Each structure stands twice: as structure tokens, then as C-alpha cells.
Amino acid sequence: MPHIVIVGAGIVGLSIARDALKRGHQVTILEQSSVPNPHSASFDSHRMIRYHYGAFGGYTRMVTPAFDAWERVWSDLGHAHFENTGAVAISLEPNDYGEKTLNTFREVGQEHEVHDRAAMEALCPHLELPAHAWGVTGGRGGPLFAGRIVTELAQWVLEHGAVIRAHCKVDAVDLERGVATLADGGEVAGDLLVVAAGAWISRLLQERFGNSPTFRQGLCYVDPPATYVESWRQSPAIVAIGDHGGYTLPDRRGAGLKFGHGGHRKPAKPEEQGFGSDLAAESAIILGAFKPYLKEPEGYKPTRIQVGFYEMDSSRRFNLETHSHGIVVTNCDGQMFKFGPLLGERIMGMFEGRQSAADLRRWAAGY
């Protein structure tokens, strides 16, 4: 029975474990913290899935198979941790994210609808947009309830035979031999060693990833003005407003209304920065990016900052590095969650010879 050893119990590690177990393999998961790890990039109230990817048509094409993979997860868990609120990218100027998305939708044949400013403000009554603004919706989209997903996936893989070693620090990995060396000097060997350690990859593979760009991102949960509580709840997730890097997820199933702003991220490593936050200062930056487009902007009350770390280089493409008995999943850019189960299936398919490593790398990079 092949033995799959996985470093990291986020969405990627748990998804690989699930698929490996379904194929009859032995699975060991090594996680430096608790399982699930509340500080992992996978652990949040909700994360977004949508077809909107600007000019990255390869990722738009991957979303339908990703939804199919999630359906298989829901079948195993017994219920779905997703709500189809829809998603919208709002265009403010030529060739911005919304227009690039529209062009990609047309190119790949993705169903979509274009909304002028009046239609956008009817769809999102809490917004006040410039006269020239318009939006594009297309396909299913909305929140995946991430914390609940990784919690139940961890329980599922445990119940189906996985060995989960929590609070187990890995000091080194040998991807050619498939061996993980632990902080206590012990070793865990597998037929396949998967490193899915997220922002901690540079510590494990210092020579290869020590200088990889790692970022801290703070996401702001807010209480909206009473006038717009229900309109936010019933409106689609916002993928982008122009190119300013802002996005939102609606408050469904008690997850809370979340605002994110790409301009708020900064280079940092988790072991250096930690997970503390300054609610007043950080919320002022994040909400400040949205204020020009909000009705009653002063009525938004920040409640907490969710801090996460991830790797992201200028390519903005997932990177899979394959070795004799190992594979490294990197450069996840905060975008990996929606593709986790699909990637798990594809990695195990490669292990069983159903796809070449080169094809898998190209596919994961969105080409």
C-alpha cells in the first residue's frame, strides 16, 4: 500500500489526504500546529469561489472542474459548505480587471451578463458608483465556508484512516527520497512526500524558497449600516472594483461581511511578524479603499481583522515542483482554497500515472 506523507494540514494537504484515502493509500499528515490550524491561510470564516480571473483564462476554465470536485467533497461530508450568491467585477476604466474578465468570458465561452451603472446599483443598493461604471456577473460564485470545511475534512480523513500528527514540527525534507525529518530527529518516509506548508515553505526549503516573496494580509470583518445589512447579505460577492484590489464576501450563515484590499498586504513572514493586528489602523486602510463607492461610508463598524500569510510572486500563478519522491505546492497567492479538492485529485492522479508531472505543472499554472 503506497504511503503518502503530507506536510501541512491546510486545504491542499487535507484534500490530497482525502483523495489518497479514497484510492486506498496510507496517509500521514504532519502539522506544526493544531488541526485545523487557526493561523493557516485556509482557516477563515469564508473564502471566495468565482469564475472572474481577469486575463487569466486558464483559471476561469478550471472553476467548473473545481465546482465538480467540491460536489464530491459535499457528498463525502454529507452537506455543502457553499452558497451561490453570485459574484461581480465592477469596471471603472478601460482594460481594468472587470473589462479583462469580460474579454476572457467571451474568449472561453463563459456565460455572463453585463450590467450598466443603474443595474449595478439595483443589484448592490449599498454602492454609489461613478456614472461610467459597469459590472459583469457570470456563473456560480460566492462564499466557501473555509473554517467549517477544513474542520470537517480533518475529521473525515481521520475517521477514514489517516494518521494526523499535530504539533509536529518538520525541520527538513528530502524530496528525492520522500523523507521528512522531524524536530526531535525522527524521520517519516513515504512513497510520495507532499510539502503544502504555505507561507512556512521558506523555513523548510531555505535554499530553494528562502527568498520567495511572502506577504501578510489583513481582512476586515465589519458591521454595515442598518439600512444596508440585508442588501449586503443578498448581493453578490464583489471580486474587484476597478483595479484597486478590493473585494467583499457577504454575510451568509453567520460568517460576517468581509472586506479585503490587496493594497493592504505587505511583505512579511509569519515567524517574524506574528498574527496580531491593529483593528483601528488596519480597518481604516481597508475600508478607506471602499469609501468612495459606499453609501453611508461612516456607518461601517469594523469588528475584527483576520490575519493570514501567503506566498505570491509576480507571475500570480500556482507553482508545483515535482521531484523523484516529492512534490512542493507553492505560490498559492491566497487563491488556492477554491481549487484545493481539484488539486488534490490531480496530484494523486499524477502519482498513479494518469498525468505527467509536466502536464500537471502546466495545468496548475493556468496554461
| 182-206 confidence digits (pLDDT tens) | 999 999 999 999 999 999 998 899 8
pTM, two decimals, is 0.96
Three-state secondary-structure class, residue 170: strand
Continuous H helices in the chain: 11-22, 57-77, 97-108, 117-123, 146-159, 201-204, 206-209, 229-234, 270-273, 279-290, 340-351, 357-364
pLDDT at 298: 97
In this structure, is the dihedral angle defined by the CA atoms of residues 97, 299, 306 and 283, taken in order, positive or negative?
Answer: positive
pLDDT at 158: 98
**Statement: residue 306 has pLDDT above 90:** yes
Q: What are 87-141's pLDDT values in tens digits?
A: 999 999 999 999 999 999 999 999 999 999 999 999 999 999 999 999 999 999 9
Q: How confident is the model at residue 273 (pLDDT cuts 50, 70, 90)?
A: confident
Percent of the chain at pLDDT above 70? 100
Q: What are 20-45's pLDDT values in tens digits?
A: 999 999 999 999 999 999 999 899 99
DSSP state of 294: B
For 204-231, the DSSP string reads HSHHHHTTS-EEEEEEEEEEPPGGGHHH
Cβ neighbors of 1 (< 8 A, separation 6 or more) are 24, 25, 26
